[in-house]
């Protein structure tokens, strides 16, 4: 995966990435964070490490929440660094009638709809700019190719079967969440530095997942 260079491949300087897609990522982050807050209310099963972050989020007004979520990369993941699960998902009615192969982080009803939105945006981003989709979603190149081969309708249908994949990134590292969300609210240089740091963290996660697969 190519290294992140804000000048040549970054968000503000890219001429090929639609501003609408970048804005959609912020909106989708907001949806996912609202889902996380609802999950915390519905169940005590959310990681204790994120409890402080969730409480802080609840204390923000709506405008501050939207600023906090305003990142040009996805703060959540849906198995985008794992080509094997996407390859299995391509098969007809995989796991039909069986227990989900991945433990669900979310159990609230809205999880399916939010996952559907994630899958649809992923397909749209891959169509518009594969490199940016890989950077912003933490997507393995093989997953990019798999998603590119499917229509929006097919991605919606796949989300119905793979909603258990949706999970927050860095669920055991609340310090990352505090940095990113508070910098989003603050804006300015703090937000700019957090954007770069967050993108590099996503890239590092994909690289680590690739190393783990090679060792297995």
**What's the pLDDT tens digit per position in 103-116?**
889 999 899 999 99
DSSP letters spanning 27-89: HHHHHHHHHHHHHHHH-TTS-GGGHHHHHHHHTS-HHHHHHHT--SS-SEESSTT-HHHHHHH
Domain-embedded: residue 79: yes
pLDDT for res 9: 46
pLDDT at 94: 45
Total-model pTM: 0.85
Residue 87 lies in a domain: yes
Convert the pLDDT of each residue in 76-93 to its tens digit.
Answer: 999 999 999 999 987 665
* 57 in any annotated domain: yes
To the nearest whole percent, how much of the chain has pLDDT over 90? 63
pLDDT digits (tens, 9 = 90+) for 151-174: 999 999 999 999 999 999 999 999
- Integer-rounded Cα Rg, in Å, for the chain is 17
Residue 172 sits in which domain range? 19-215
On whether residue 10 sits in a domain, the answer given is no
Long-range contacts of 27-30 (CB under 8 A, 24+ apart): 27/69, 28/74, 28/117, 28/118, 28/121, 29/69, 29/70, 29/71, 29/74, 29/75, 29/76, 30/65, 30/66, 30/69
At residue 20, the pLDDT reads: 74
Total of domains in the chain: 1
Is the per-residue pLDDT at 50 higher than 70? yes
Tell whether the model's pLDDT for residue 2 goes beyond 60.
no
Whole-number pLDDT of residue 45: 55
Question: What is the pLDDT, as a whole number, of residue 47?
Answer: 59
In this structure, is residue 41 part of a structural domain?
Answer: yes
């Amino acid at each position: 995966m190519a290294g992140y260079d804000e000048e040549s491949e970054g968000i503000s300087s890219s001429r090929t990435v639609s501003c609408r897609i970048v804005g959609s990522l912020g909106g989708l982050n907001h949806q996912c964070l609202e889902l996380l807050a609802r999950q915390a209310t519905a169940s005590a099963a959310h990681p204790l490490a994120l409890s402080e972050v969730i409480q802080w989020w609840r204390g923000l007004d709506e405008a501050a929440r939207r600023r906090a979520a305003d990142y040009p990369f996805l703060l959540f993941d849906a198995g985008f660094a794992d080509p094997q699960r996407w390859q299995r998902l391509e098969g007809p009615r995989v796991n039909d009638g069986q227990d989900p192969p991945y433990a669900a982080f979310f159990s609230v009803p809205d999880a399916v709809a939010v996952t559907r939105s994630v899958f649809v945006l992923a397909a749209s981003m891959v169509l518009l700019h594969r490199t940016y989709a890989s950077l912003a979603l933490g997507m393995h190149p093989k997953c990019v190719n798999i998603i590119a081969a499917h229509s929006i309708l097919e991605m919606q249908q796949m989300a119905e079967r793979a909603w258990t994949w949706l999970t927050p990134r860095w669920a055991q590292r609340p310090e990352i969440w505090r940095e990113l969300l508070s910098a989003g609210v603050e804006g300015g240089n703090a937000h700019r530095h957090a954007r770069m740091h967050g993108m590099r963290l996503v890239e590092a996660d994909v690289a680590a997942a690739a190393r783990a697969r090679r060792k297995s």
